[in-house]
Chain A
Amino acid sequence: MSIRIGIDVGGTYTDAVLIRSGQVRQTGKVLTKPDQLLDTVLEALDSLNIASEISPKHEVESITVSTTLVTNAILQKQLPEVELILLPGSGMKLTSLSWPVPYHVLSGELDYRGRQIAALDKQELQDLTETIINKHLENKQKNEKTLAVVSGKFSHRNYILEQQLAAYLQKKISELSMALGSEWGQSNFYRRSLTAYLNLAAQDLFTDFRDGLIKAVRARGLQAPVKILKANGGMQPAENIRPVESIYSGPAASLLGTLAQSNPEHTYIVVDIGGTTTDIGLVLSGKPLLSSRGAHIGDFLTNVHSLAVQSIAVGGDSVVLPTEGEQAAVEGKENKNFSLASYRLGPAYCLGGSKPTTTDALRYLGLVDFGDYARAEEAMSLLLPEGKRETPYFREIAQNILDLMVEKIAEAIGILVKQWRDEPAYKVWQVLNPRADYKFPIKLSGGGAYGLAAALAQRMNATVTLTDHAMVVNAVGAAMAKPTFSWTLNLDTSLKRYRIEETGEQGEWRGSLRPHREVEQFLKTLASKQAKDMGLDEYRLEMEPFDYFPLIEGYRTVGQIVRGRVHLPPGAFQLQDYGPSS
């Protein structure tokens, strides 16, 4: 049996765990330095005494990192500018959706099957080239690269126009770094363009981090593959992950951490209470629920697959504000005496902090056993007007704070479950087999989370259990994450063209006009080979039912459109005592 190491970069702390033979052997915790994430990760890694665990029988099998590097860079608008070149064709007006970045528009149009309706325009190409050359000269003086994304409507059905345009530009400006929207080949045009944009913009930042990380790991004598956790809860070798897929891995990590310590058949809700946010996710028969739409980050809507996690601004360190003053910064003002801020100002008052927090309320009520009781009481009194600073009022306000936290969590659980039940369905059998009402048990994690257990159980009328290793559950999740990938096929046998949406691969179909088993085998073979090349374990490939659409012209069948998907679903290896181990 071997050793898996997981590191999770959080907003306040970065956690590390070392798991050997499915047992958590070591944990570490360091403060996160937001401007030096690589140093932070290495510090966390060094907080583990890895050498003491290694033996001929136990070698390090993987080091998986969940990092906020790209998330932060996007949210703090630190990414370089990218020339975004769009081929929107006709249809909805481009400005009906708000574009968070400037763009160039060119003509050239495809239809919904990827058939060309209008070609690129020579004159426009020349004008665009001139504009970009000027920009490139400017960038060169500043010692910056010039980046460009070419993205066309329906390029997920045919990349021909994007490739023509890119080839033209590359010939004129050889130093241009380019990416195509079709590499993110799923609908829609808007999200695909913005995803390609973010990914190219984050490439250098991410590459530096990754190379530095691998080098530092090797310098420590570790030869294990370094992996990065993705928003969908899967990990992938750092060498071939696309940077933007690493956003929002934190919430995914907490879900996986719980998954690793639960029966792989069970269905439940995960509630992970952090310093300032609580993440809520859903696990169905051991499979975490994926969001039906791509991730939303800052002003960007993307195609990045993520777990369906509800994140709410409530945590153990959330500052509690008396109602008067500071209203602007407050999220919600649902209670008469106080409100919960969405930020953290250091630790809880009872732990030596300067402001009353939710943890102080839990401490005052005796629901958690850490922190100073007298200071918790003082914190409650700070929230009350003079004349009301007495015991019955302390109890009342502490209870109200607890109730508000629980209410917010309950509300978010409700939204998540409704989202799952109300997912769109496009086939008769799906509608005839609706998702039943179900009373989900709740698994609670996070420091101090146990203080909420009883109240949450009562509010939800559900069983609430505490997850083990609650303080480092995210790092456990990173360590135990399984690899994920998916291959979505769109085949049009009449046009003799197939595409794999996730990779942008496109090719000529040489099979029959009306394939059945043939196309399933085709996709399986293709996916198995690519999974192997990417260092993913192919044996877990799962195939979803294919959709076949006969294409009729007149009353004659002229071909078929086939949609199919095989994937490595997200999941976690089990810790010992929680089910079959890896």
Chain B
Amino acid sequence: MKKTGIVFFPAFDWSLGETHPEREERLLYTQEQIFEEGVMDLPQIKQYSPAVANMQDVLRTQAVFPSPKHHELDAHLIAVGCSLVLGKALMAQEITNGFVLVRPPGHHSATVVWGNRGFCTLNNEAILANYLRTYYGVKKIAIIDTDVHHGDGTQDIFYYDPNVLCISIHQDGRTLYPGTGFCEEKGGPNSWGTIVNIPLSPGTGDEGFLYALEKWALPAVEEFKPDIIINSAGQDNHFTDPLASMNVTARGYGKITEMIRPDLAVLEGGYSIQGALPYVNLAILLALAGEDYSRVKEPQKISRRVLHGEPVRSYIDNLHKYFQQIKPNWRYVQGQSKHLPAGKWVSVEKEIFYDTEMFREQRQDLIRECQHCGGTVFINTRNQATMEKAMLVKIPFEACPACEQAGYDLVEHYKKSAQTLLLQNQLHNQVLFWEKSKEVNLFASEN
């Protein structure tokens, strides 16, 4: 029998603040709804218990600076751990798909973590994806983000990675946090086109959302041919969500799930705690389990104006055409910098805003252009509030020998500097950390 796995972790004893949207109450009614319906008694549903992720699994994917011990990570590590639980179950073929129904969320959490952004500290889906690549040899993964907010953290983590397709369908960044996710953001020099952003106009409902999925997102997935599809299943596109302005219904979310057919869905945002979450979560879970979700109905009616018909379709069609003709424009590091290993390096500069604690991060990403692999990435980052600096060297999965060596050369040179340095050697499943030119074992208490 086909099984649908679920880890339900509502973190009933954790919040970002008593009246914060990310609070104890957030999944309370979802629990009431799902349990009362008897979903857990469906023969094809298999409930798994939560687990804690270890730091090695986190640091392989995200650089937590100045060091993990500076952050309150317990709840986040459990949300990640839950994702890994279902990832393992999927790989062991105990389940055919699964729903990681947990909080806190993670998709705004990026390559470098100086703090909490958009309620996220660790990126559940990204850590999961790299876990599956590390331990199960999964080659290609597609992450489809259906949260109303741009999945900027996930995009950032895989921006230079040609083997992870990131598609985010969201409310236009000109009208909503985090203000990114435009068509022009299409990937790095070795991964151009593996980032797909579909910004929709406020007011878009089921019709427009499903149209964008059918005509744009799913064909991109088909072309990419992923081994695994992960859905960042945020629920704030719902017409009752207090933070956004879209008009998707619970049944619309059921249909979205049915169309994406994710191997694993991971809950992201969604802050209409009473009006949407109990119903949207139920619809997603039923759709995953192959059950009829047509009777799932939120009691409230749509009161916002819904964009529909020809205008919404042609808007999406035009945007898609525009997307297809966008070309990259790289800024190469000129001359041969004395500390950069041989090769052509592309430089990307960005500033990232941490809304929870209100500070900025300044970043320079250097990517080694490569015909053979994803290319080694060297990142310099500075927390503008504390002026702390740190560096990250990432040797990608399936790195070619030249890129691998470039990574080692960078580490060799910079580990003697006073700055904090992290090596993510994804090729050899190795994570090393230097503080004040001394190597630090961050995993002493782990096995």
- Interface residues in chain A, defined as those with a beta carbon under 8 Å from any beta carbon in chain B: 90-93, 96-97, 111-113, 117, 153-154, 156-157, 187-191, 301, 422-429, 431-432, 434, 547, 549-552, 555-557, 561
User: A431 near B52 (CB under 8 angstroms)?
Assistant: yes
Measured between beta carbons, the chain B residues less than 8 angstroms from A432 are 52, 74, 78
Q: 10 new A-B pairs (CB below 8 Å) besides A93-B291, A112-B33, A551-B25?
A: A91-B33, A92-B282, A112-B32, A153-B36, A188-B41, A431-B50, A549-B12, A549-B24, A550-B19, A561-B28
User: A425 near B39 (CB under 8 angstroms)?
Assistant: no
**How far, in angstroms, from A154 to B32 measured CA to CA in the complex?**
9
Residue B443, interface by CB 8 Å: no
User: A190 near B296 (CB under 8 angstroms)?
Assistant: no
Measured between beta carbons, the chain A residues less than 8 angstroms from B31 are 426
Measured between beta carbons, the chain B residues less than 8 angstroms from A157 are 32
Chain B: minimal CB distance from A108 (Å): 14
Binary flags per residue of B19-43, CB closer than 8 Å to A gives 1, else 0: 1000111001101110111111110
Residue B47, interface by CB 8 Å: yes
Count of chain B residues near A, Cβ 8 A: 46
List B275-291 residues whose CB lies under 8 Å from chain A. 278, 282, 286, 291
- Interface residues in chain B, defined as those with a beta carbon under 8 Å from any beta carbon in chain A: 8-14, 18-19, 23-25, 28-29, 31-33, 35-42, 47-52, 74-75, 78, 81, 278, 282, 286, 291-297, 299
- Please judge, given known A-B contacts A90-B297, A426-B9, whether A156 and B78 are in contact too, CB under 8 Å: no
Measured between beta carbons, the chain A residues less than 8 angstroms from B295 are 90-93
Chain A: minimal CB distance from B65 (Å): 24
Measured between beta carbons, the chain A residues less than 8 angstroms from B36 are 112, 153-154, 156, 187-189
Contact of A423 among B11, B38, B49 (CB under 8 A): B49
- Please judge, given known A-B contacts A97-B42, A432-B52, whether A426 and B25 are in contact too, CB under 8 Å: no
**How far, in angstroms, from A429 to B78 measured CA to CA in the complex?**
10
Chain B: minimal CB distance from A117 (Å): 5
User: A91 near B37 (CB under 8 angstroms)?
Assistant: yes
28 A-B pairs whose Cβ atoms sit less than 8 Å apart in the complex: A90-B296, A90-B297, A91-B33, A91-B282, A92-B296, A96-B42, A96-B286, A96-B292, A111-B299, A112-B29, A112-B32, A187-B32, A188-B35, A189-B38, A190-B41, A301-B41, A423-B49, A424-B47, A424-B50, A425-B49, A425-B50, A426-B11, A426-B12, A428-B11, A428-B74, A432-B74, A552-B23, A561-B28
Contact of B18 among A191, A547, A557 (CB under 8 A): A557
User: A96 near B291 (CB under 8 angstroms)?
Assistant: yes
**How far, in angstroms, from A153 to B78 measured CA to CA in the complex?**
32
**How far, in angstroms, from A127 to B88 measured CA to CA in the complex?**
53
User: B41 near A97 (CB under 8 angstroms)?
Assistant: yes
Contact of B19 among A112, A431, A555 (CB under 8 A): A555
Measured between beta carbons, the chain B residues less than 8 angstroms from A190 are 38, 41
User: B48 near A422 (CB under 8 angstroms)?
Assistant: yes
**How far, in angstroms, from A549 to B31 measured CA to CA in the complex?**
13
Chain A: minimal CB distance from B221 (Å): 29
User: A428 near B78 (CB under 8 angstroms)?
Assistant: yes
What residue of chain B has the Cβ atom nearest to residue A93's Cβ? Answer: B292
**How far, in angstroms, from A425 to B40 measured CA to CA in the complex?**
15
Chain A: minimal CB distance from B32 (Å): 4
**How far, in angstroms, from A426 to B103 measured CA to CA in the complex?**
11
